[in-house]
Amino acid sequence: MHVLITGGAGFLGAALANRLVGQGHHVRVLDDLSAGDRDRLDRRVAFTRGDTRDIPKLWTLLRGVDCVYHLAARVSVPESVLYPVEYNAVNVGGTVALMTAVRDAQVKRVVFASSGAAYGEQGAQPVSEAAPLRPATPYAVSKMAAEHYTLAIGALWGIETVILRVFNAYGPGQPLPPAHAPVIPQLLKQVLGGGSLVIYGSGEQTRDFVYLADVVDALQAAATAAGVDRTVMNVGSGSEVSINELVRVIEEVSGRAPHILHSSAESGGVSRLVADVRLAREKLGFRPRVSLEEGLRRVLMEDPQFVR
């Protein structure tokens, strides 16, 4: 296949690009490097630096492409609260521009990486794709809006579109920015560094942590699966893990016992969230293979940030 991956130098995009090019596919990547790193990519990947809102550049990159993976986005929930205009411009405007260029280039299929954050607070768990969306942050709203644009433009112009709502992905190479870091690399850094670890609220708030390679499996399957046009599917582990439990597992796999501080301040996120992955299993043959314990061990063994 010939594929274009927007945001392909990011954490998830680079893993997908390297998997595909290693299997003999022709892979082009477009990334503005605001959060990506070109050094993550296999030398066989054709890299272009640029913005998904640059339609003339997209026209060139989309020539002969069979499938587009749209992963380019601003992804920090706390940052989106501070900069909603930027998040709307990049996540929504970039999606509309891409779909317009895809229409012009007559690409057959687009796979869009959305987010489980679009669900917001839900009573029933695990949450299925039929649940009403209740996005509570600009990031989540931007992902919901981008989903609707992808599906609407695809339906109007005969482009096959597949939406994957990815939950809390983690794995080797996940960036650890100085502010608003993802929970797993942040906790690992605190535990391995011997510092104190802060748990907000009760620590019983739950998330669905899904290993990077499992997400790549779902993305790869979505490019060629039959009968998935205009289908929205969850991609998660299907396991609900509290922050307290996550800390316990990190202690177990790292052999470290951190000093834990409890803060009465709330975490700011939803109280519970776990994916119902039955639809992805049915449509994509998706079966998460890596447990949380195994995934954390792989991060500790393979990620240069944490290898001891």
Residues annotated as catalytic (active site), given as ranges? 139
Under 8 Å between Cβ of 239 and 208: yes
Looking at residue 23, its amino acid is Q
